[in-house]
Amino acid sequence: MKWLRKTWDLYYDGFRTMTLGRTLWAVILVKLFVIFVVLKLFFFPNYIKEHAQGREADFVASQLQPENLNSQ
């Protein structure tokens, strides 16, 4: 477990003495927030929830299985 303590000390000292790195981490976190929260809300609607009406598993199964197998 000594290696775990050395690893923790390495990262702790590195992040504590950062100046430009803190700004870069802030930019990264803001970008991740925009990607995962803002874009999800406005550009990726929940299509399954809107069309399944409470029967999501049946809706997905019906979309994956073709209705007419003779069209091959």
Structure token digits, residue 63: 């979309």
Q: How far is CA 60 from CA 12, 45, 46, 68, 69, in A?
A: 47, 16, 13, 17, 18
Q: What are the pLDDT digits (tens) for 11-50?
A: 888 888 888 888 888 999 999 999 888 888 888 777 887 7
- Distance between CA atoms of 4 and 12, rounded to whole angstroms? 12
pTM listed for this prediction: 0.47
User: Are 48 and 56 a contacting pair, CB within 8 Å?
Assistant: yes
| pLDDT at res. 46 | 79
Q: How many residues does the chain have?
A: 72
- Band of pLDDT at residue 70, cut at 50, 70 and 90: low
User: Are 15 and 7 a contacting pair, CB within 8 Å?
Assistant: no
